[in-house]
Amino acid sequence: MRLQVSFKSGKPVYLQVVDQVKTAVACGTLRAGDPLPGIRPLAESLRVNRNTIAKAYGELESQGVIQTAAGKGCVVRDGGSPYRKDVRLDLLKHDIDAAVVQAHHLQIGRADFLRLAEARFDAFAQQRHEAGPTS
């Protein structure tokens, strides 16, 4: 996995790292038990502050995406989120709300929105399929 950060976008750098790792895990590029790069080498290669990487890994750990394994650094967690389903739904609600607001401004109606959501799920499944069989 190659991480990249851009200072041109207004997105905080640590969130860029969080989202890239989450995408890699969701797509199957990173599997359960796979190690993440160490904080120092990653910070050096991206030329970003170590605090930024530490913050990103802390965020990923609290979201249950990775865990710290003794002597191995950070690895991708097996199994799912540590949260109960109602909490997980609640977390997702905020992202969907943002997309619904954006849809409103772009004059995309409910039917088109739902159709697009279906299509994106299909594209995601396809991407996972191409990455190979997952557990």
Instruction: Pick the binder of another protein from 2, 47, 94, 110 (CB under 8 A).
Output: 47
- 25 is a site residue for another protein (CB under 8 A): no
CB of 38: closest distance to another protein in angstroms? Answer: 11
Task: Name the minimum Å distance from CB 114 to another protein.
Answer: 31
CA separation for the pair 6, 19 (Å, rounded): 13
Decide: 1 and 29 in contact? Cβ < 8 Å: yes
Minimal distance in Å, beta carbon 8 to another protein? 6
Number of H helices, E strands in the chain: 5, 2
Number of residues that bind another protein (CB under 8 A): 20
115 is a site residue for another protein (CB under 8 A): no
Question: CB count, 10 Å around CB of 4?
Answer: 8
Distance, in Å, from the CA atom of 123 to the CA atom of 118, rounded to the nearest integer, reads 9
Assigned token pair, 133: 């069989």
Task: By CB under 8 A, name the binding residues for another protein.
Answer: 5, 7-14, 40, 43-44, 46-52, 54
